[in-house]
């Protein structure tokens, strides 16, 4: 899926606007996505290319047994897989991989690491010392067990980790929860489940977390980085584990406008918004370190200060101290022809988030700003 990364002028097929921040694969501008149903249909065809290249279903299946794992609401026919590519119908029963395995890889990442929560979490700041952190400052000398899952419930057209699709298609490599838990070393102070996304293998991550913490009686924080699309019952479970262990749940809210969100990610943001609300409630009993961290990627032409202001107003209505990270966009995957986030756009979005009432806002990946 290598695509030539050449930033040029894009043209909206619906209003004929010509700009550098209009994606050629979607072929429509933000304004038409929001106001024109035909434009939304045009943009949706991008997901046919994104999914078809890996032999994955372009849309959530609608005939069969209900999965219920995430917002997509897949109804999977016997012997078939769901939208994520790994959940399947085995003779009328929806299940993941046998023997409590998952498609995943793991590695030890020295702390402090380039994490979206690094600026507020124990690993980067010592928040919660001595209960949740080994040091009053950054936990240098310790490591994070990073767990990358090879599946996702979304289909983001700008995915920087798009290779997970190859893993999902091959259902390889695999690892059991027990083996993964055994990889927690003596200097491991946190585990982070990400991907792809943990959602398709959320039970696997929960079992791994429980078994890893049984092995380690001292500090071992459990964190998830997710698109927030999983069912509310799972949000409650991972929120509880993260809360007890001193970890966090990092939710990436891709866009506030649902039409834009669907065009970029192939799914609605409704569940993500509801789950952020649930996590804010769960985290209200532990102010520091914060349980919930929210991030948004600033995609030129599609996710601007209007989205950021609306997201920030929503977060501020829950708790003005919720950390909100604004991430710089880098051209990747099918949106490789868009420019990187400009410093001007990032500063406008930062200003909008603060004006909306949030007290903790940060521009992440600043080195990518142009």
pLDDT band at 3 (very low <50, low <70, confident <90, very high): very low
In a domain, 16, yes or no: no
Mean pLDDT of the chain: 95
Q: What is the DSSP letter of 13?
A: T
Count of domains forming the chain: 1
**pLDDT interval class at 6 (50, 70, 90):** low
- 3 in a structural domain: no
Question: Which tens digits make up the pLDDT trace of 115-132?
Answer: 999 999 999 999 999 999
pLDDT at residue number 217: 85
The dihedral built from the CA positions of residue 49, 15, 307 and 339, taken in this order, carries a sign that is positive
Residue 35 lies in a domain: no
Which tens digits make up the pLDDT trace of 147-159?
999 999 999 999 9
**DSSP labels for 233-301?**
HHHHHHHHHHHHHT--EEEE---SSHHHHHHHHSS-SHHHHHHHHHHHHHGGG--SS-SEEEEEEE-TT
Distance (Å, whole) CA 326 – CA 295: 6
Quote the CA–CA distance of 109 and 181 in Å, as a whole number: 16
**Domain assignment of residue 278, given as a range:** 98-368
Residue 69 lies in a domain: no
218-260 per-position pLDDT tens digit: 999 999 999 999 999 999 999 999 999 999 999 999 999 999 9
Q: What is the pLDDT of residues 43-83, one digit of tens each?
A: 999 999 999 999 998 899 999 999 999 999 999 999 999 99
Does residue 186 fall inside a structural domain?
A: yes
Structural domain includes residue 33: no
Burial class of 288 by CB neighbour count within 10 A (0 to 12, 13 to 18, 19+): middle
Q: pLDDT per residue over 325-352, tens digit each?
A: 999 999 999 999 999 999 999 999 999 9
8 pLDDT exceeds 80? no
Q: Is residue 351 part of a domain?
A: yes
Helix H or strand E encompassing 226: strand 221-226
pLDDT at 5 over 80: no
Residue 275 lies in a domain: yes
Q: What is the pLDDT of residues 77-92, one digit of tens each?
A: 999 999 999 999 999 9
Residue 164 has pLDDT above 90, yes or no: yes
CATH number at residue 218: 3.20.20.70
């Amino acid at each position: 899926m290598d695509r030539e990364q050449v930033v040029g002028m894009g043209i909206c097929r619906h209003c004929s606007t010509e700009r550098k921040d209009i994606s050629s694969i979607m072929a429509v501008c933000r304004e038409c996505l929001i106001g024109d149903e035909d434009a939304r249909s045009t943009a949706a065809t991008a997901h046919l290319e994104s999914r078809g290249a890996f032999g994955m279903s372009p849309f959530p299946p609608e005939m069969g047994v209900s999965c219920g794992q995430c917002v997509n609401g897949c109804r999977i026919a016997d012997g078939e897989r769901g939208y994520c590519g790994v959940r399947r119908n085995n003779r009328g029963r929806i299940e993941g991989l046998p023997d409590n395995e998952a498609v995943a890889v793991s590695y030890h990442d020295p702390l402090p690491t380039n994490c979206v929560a690094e600026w507020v979490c124990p690993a980067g700041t010592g928040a919660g010392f001595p209960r949740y952190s080994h040091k009053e400052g950054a936990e240098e000398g310790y490591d994070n067990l990073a767990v990358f899952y090879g599946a996702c419930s979304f289909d983001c057209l700008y995915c920087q980790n798009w290779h997970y699709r190859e893993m999902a298609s091959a259902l390889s490599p695999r690892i059991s929860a027990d083996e993964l838990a055994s990889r927690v070393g003596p200097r491991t102070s946190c585990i982070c489940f990400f991907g792809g996304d943990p959602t398709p293998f959320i039970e696997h991550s929960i079992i791994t977390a429980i078994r890893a913490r049984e092995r380690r009686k001292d500090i071992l924080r459990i964190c998830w980085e997710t698109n927030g699309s999983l069912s509310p019952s799972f949000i409650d479970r991972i929120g509880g584990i993260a809360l007890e262990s001193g970890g966090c749940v990092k939710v990436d809210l891709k866009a506030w406008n649902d039409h834009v969100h669907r065009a970029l990610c192939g799914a609605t943001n409704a569940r993500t918004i509801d789950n952020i609300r649930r996590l804010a409630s769960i985290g209200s009993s532990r102010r520091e370190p914060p349980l919930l961290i929210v991030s948004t990627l600033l995609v030129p032409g599609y996710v601007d200060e209007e989205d950021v202001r609306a997201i920030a107003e929503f977060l501020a209505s829950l708790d003005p101290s919720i950390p909100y990270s604004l991430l710089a966009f880098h051209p990747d995957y099918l949106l490789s022809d868009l420019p990187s986030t400009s410093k001007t756009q990032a500063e406008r979005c930062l200003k909008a988030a603060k004006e909306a009432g949030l007290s903790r806002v940060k521009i992440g990946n600043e080195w990518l700003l142009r």
